[in-house]
Amino acid sequence: MADFSGPPLREELEGFEPYGAPQLDVPVLLNVNENPYPPSQAVVDDIARAVTEAAGGLNRYPDREFLALRNDLAAYLGAESGADLTGEQVWAANGSNEVMLHLLQAFGGPGRTALSFAPTYSMYPEYARDTNTTWVTGRRETDFTIDVEHALATLAEHRPSVVLLASPNNPTGTALPLDVIERITKTCAELPCVVVVDEAYGEFRRAGTPSAVTLLPSYRNLAVARTMSKAFALAGARVGYLAAGRDLVDALRIVRLPYHLSAVTQAVARAALRHRDELLGRVAELRTARDETVEWLRARGLEAVDSDANFVLFGRFADRHGVWQAVLADGVLIRETGPDGWLRVSIGSPAENDAFRRSLTAYLDRVPEATVSEVQA
Ligand SMILES: Cc1ncc(COP(=O)(O)O)c(C=O)c1O
């Protein structure tokens, strides 16, 4: 911004860099929790056919309400989470980031507060900042769970309008028990406050962990956000969505820009949903590889957090940046994120996971004093 001679940036944006993990051209990308498997040629061909059909009508604005896509998403999410949903209860946008920004635009704003429990997804404070919403965090415990009594006390103190609960949480992988979500949601209903359960990694949750979608019939102040970027292997298409009561969805329709979801995006998402079995076909394999990664890290003497997502937080290192750089020098990009001393690795293909393990093993052999049990503040 140094040479910009226009009006000063809004005060609350001063000093910020654009958000985003480094996008580096290296062979092994394990830094943004993508699905490592591209679509098969048959799926590519079907998506291309759908795009060709949509291209024939690109002189017209797209369907603003995109109910056909919302119906498809409702059918998928209902089946995945064991709930009954209609298209009117579903909302979608360009990634779940945009869906959650819509929520803050509708329910945040000047004089209002959004709240989450840290460490958590680093975009949440940005939604708040961009919508002029006060941002407050409570804490997660040392095992990254949320203590309900602390959560309820934090709600009482700050009386937020929006609570964001990532489950499974990024960067820790921790899923919240349904009773924790329910107690927070019940208290929020009285404030009143909207609770957003961000299930971006929901499909990777371990067996027996229910989705918060099953709570929707009981709470009109609850929204559950999902994305096609992770398990669905469709990060490049930018499609995220949420399920909630109809009233809440209708509130989001007020703040969306007209025609925010292009005809091409709608066509790609619908084609991908027709191939859900194939696109989601590697989820079980990725879950197994995730659990093996946790065990492998622990066997190497490291701490690794149990994960319900497609990544693992591990540490703790005296010099996590040094570890990140050493692994990068071997062509493996992981993420320097989370509390001091921790790093996050996404689960890749077997060859990619092996490359990560080889590189980390070499580092630990070279620097035997690399790990610490507590990171000094
Ligand atoms: C917890 C969480 N929520 C939401 C998102 C946003 O995903 P997208 O905008 O691609 O749907 C991410 C992406 O990494 C995430 O980790």
Is residue 206 predicted with pLDDT exceeding 70? yes
Cα–Cα distance, 77 to 61 (Å, whole number) = 27
pLDDT tens, position by position, 223-262: 999 999 999 999 999 999 999 999 999 999 999 999 999 9
Residues shown for the chain: 377
The residues near 328 (Cβ < 8 Å, ≥ 6 apart) are 24, 26, 334
User: 262, exposed or middle or buried, with CB in 10 Å at 0-12, 13-18, 19+?
Assistant: middle
- Between the CA of residue 269 and those of 71, 73, 198, what are the distances in Å? 12, 9, 20
- Between the CA of residue 146 and those of 151, 205, 230, what are the distances in Å? 7, 17, 24
Is residue 318 predicted with pLDDT exceeding 80? yes
Q: Which atom of ligand 1 is nearest to the CA of 32?
A: 14
Backbone angles phi, psi at 263, to 5 degrees: -60, -35
Backbone angles phi, psi at 203, to 5 degrees: -65, -15
d(CA 96, ligand 1 centre) in Å: 6
Half-sphere exposure (CA, 13 Å, Cβ side) for 39?
26
Pocket mutation for ligand 1, best pick of 198, 201, 312, 335 (most atoms within 8 Å of C-beta): 198
Give strand pairing partners of 312: 345
Q: Which atom of ligand 1 is nearest to the CA of 240?
A: 11
d(CA 164, ligand 1 centre) in Å: 13
What's the pLDDT at 377?
45
What's the pLDDT at 163?
98
Backbone angles phi, psi at 163, to 5 degrees: -120, 130
What's the pLDDT at 160?
98
Average pLDDT (45-71) is: 98
Segment (H or E) for 194: strand 194-198
Give, as one character, the DSSP assignment of residue 38: P
pLDDT tens, position by position, 76-91: 999 999 899 999 999 9
User: 272, exposed or middle or buried, with CB in 10 Å at 0-12, 13-18, 19+?
Assistant: buried
What's the pLDDT at 1?
56
219: amino acid identity, one letter? Y
Cα–Cα distance, 302 to 357 (Å, whole number) = 12
Cα–Cα distance, 208 to 197 (Å, whole number) = 18
Of the ranges 31-35, 78-82, 149-153, 354-358, which one carries the lowest mean pLDDT score? 78-82
Pairing label, strands 303-304, 311-315: antiparallel
Is residue 193 predicted with pLDDT exceeding 90? yes
Sign of dihedral through CA atoms 176, 181, 182, 183? positive
pLDDT tens, position by position, 116-137: 999 999 999 999 999 999 999 9
Cα–Cα distance, 152 to 195 (Å, whole number) = 13
Percent of the chain with pLDDT over 90: 89
Pocket mutation for ligand 1, best pick of 121, 197, 224, 346 (most atoms within 8 Å of C-beta): 121
- The confidence band for 154, taking pLDDT boundaries of 50, 70 and 90, is very high
Is residue 4 predicted with pLDDT exceeding 90? no
d(CA 92, ligand 1 centre) in Å: 13
